[in-house]
């Protein structure tokens, strides 16, 4: 089953890359606007051998990692607290509702004014762009926990700290990882946007410079690298999720449906 699933994924990627390669070569798409995949791959190797590509990639990676880590470290405990103690709602919910709809690029002018040019504004934009989404998800997941589980814990003599540590947090883990994966995707969107104006090194900066010089291959190199980096970091999160919540193994709803209709 796993091999079949991976094979289907590889076939889909192969079909996409084949279309990307053949359509510009047939002239159906202007090669100046969308070069063939082989040209992008060749340019990736050239930039890698020059060494500049790795500096841009490392800068973006550590900004994403730092901003995302700060966001998760604050959103998780605060989300659990606000989810458990609804008395704080009147004070916090209006603020979250006010700031959450703001698109991360809207913070760029303020971030530059506050922190100047460099890494700090990018990390701040990543933090802001992921924090409110993750916080809202954790609050909602906490309020959807089965109250009967908490009642059983209290009946058996657990105090509040024990109930949170042994019941609330394990019960929240599936939702936590789901929202962390969403936040990770947002972090990569934020870093590209912030690096286009606020730094002198990074994948976003490289893409903006390539646009100014009309180097379409370099823009696509940046897009491919962001996609690959995001995919690998998401894979690491999913692997960690499998280790942390091994108890949550079983037959999912779609597997039941597949088994039922395949008979």
**Dihedral, CA atoms, 91, 92, 95, 99, nearest 10 degrees?**
180
Highest CATH level, class, for 55-246: mainly alpha
Residue 58: is its pLDDT beyond 50?
yes
Written in H, E and C, the secondary structure of 190-256 is HHHHHHCCCCCCCHHHHHHHHHHCCCHHHHHHHHHHHHHHHHHHHHHHHHHHHHHCHHHCCCCHHHH
pTM value is 0.80
Domain ranges of the chain: 55-246
- pLDDT, residue 1, reads 47
Report for 151-160, 165-174, 232-241: range of highest mean pLDDT: 232-241
CA atoms of 203 and 4, how far apart (whole Å): 34
Residue 217: is its pLDDT beyond 50?
yes
Please state, rounded to an integer, the average pLDDT across all residues of the chain. Answer: 82
Characterise 254 by phi-psi region: left (phi > 0), alpha (psi -120 to 50), beta (else): alpha
Q: Phi then psi for 100, rounded to 5 degrees?
A: -60, -40
Taking every pair of C-alpha atoms in the chain, what is the biggest distance, in angstroms? 73
Q: What is the DSSP string of 5-35?
A: HHHHHHHHHHHHHHHHHHHHHHTSS-TTTS-
pLDDT band at 249 (very low <50, low <70, confident <90, very high): low
Q: What is the mean pLDDT of residues 202-231?
A: 88
- Per-residue pLDDT of 162-214, as tens digits, reads 887 888 888 888 888 888 888 888 898 888 888 877 678 888 888 888 888 88
Residue 3: is its pLDDT beyond 60?
no
- Listed residue (71, 75, 125, 122) closest to 103, CA to CA: 125
CA atoms of 118 and 71, how far apart (whole Å): 19
Q: Phi then psi for 254, rounded to 5 degrees?
A: -70, -30
Cβ atoms of 126 and 63 within 8 Å: the answer is: yes
pLDDT band at 240 (very low <50, low <70, confident <90, very high): confident
pLDDT band at 74 (very low <50, low <70, confident <90, very high): very high
- Per-residue pLDDT of 87-144, as tens digits, reads 877 777 788 888 888 888 888 888 888 888 878 888 999 999 899 889 988 888 888 8
Angle, CA of 145, 148 and 153, to the nearest 5° = 100
């Amino acid at each position: 089953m796993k091999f079949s699933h991976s094979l289907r994924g590889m076939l889909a990627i192969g079909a996409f890359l084949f279309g990307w390669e053949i359509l510009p070569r047939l002239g159906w798409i202007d090669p100046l606007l969308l070069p063939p995949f082989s040209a992008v791959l060749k340019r990736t190797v050239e930039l890698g051998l020059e060494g500049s590509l790795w500096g841009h990639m490392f800068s973006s990676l550590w900004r994403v990692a730092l901003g995302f880590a700060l966001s998760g470290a604050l959103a998780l405990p605060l989300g659990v607290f606000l989810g458990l103690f609804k008395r704080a709602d009147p004070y916090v919910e209006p603020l979250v509702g006010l700031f959450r709809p703001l698109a991360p690029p809207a913070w760029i002018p303020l971030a530059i004014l506050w922190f100047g040019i460099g890494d700090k504004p990018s990390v701040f934009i990543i933090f802001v762009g992921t924090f409110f989404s993750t916080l809202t998800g954790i609050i909602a997941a906490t309020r959807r926990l089965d109250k009967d589980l908490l009642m059983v814990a209290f009946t058996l003599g657990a105090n509040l700290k024990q109930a949170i540590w042994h019941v609330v947090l394990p019960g929240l883990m599936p939702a936590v990882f789901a929202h962390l994966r969403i936040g990770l995707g947002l972090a990569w969107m934020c870093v590209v946007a912030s690096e286009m104006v606020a730094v002198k090194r990074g994948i976003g900066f490289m893409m903006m410079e390539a646009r100014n010089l009309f180097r379409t291959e370099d823009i696509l190199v940046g897009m491919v690298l962001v996609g690959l980096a995001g995919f690998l970091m998401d894979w690491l999160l999913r692997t960690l999720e499998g280790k942390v919540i091994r108890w949550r193994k079983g037959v999912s709803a779609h597997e039941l449906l597949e088994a039922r209709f395949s008979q």
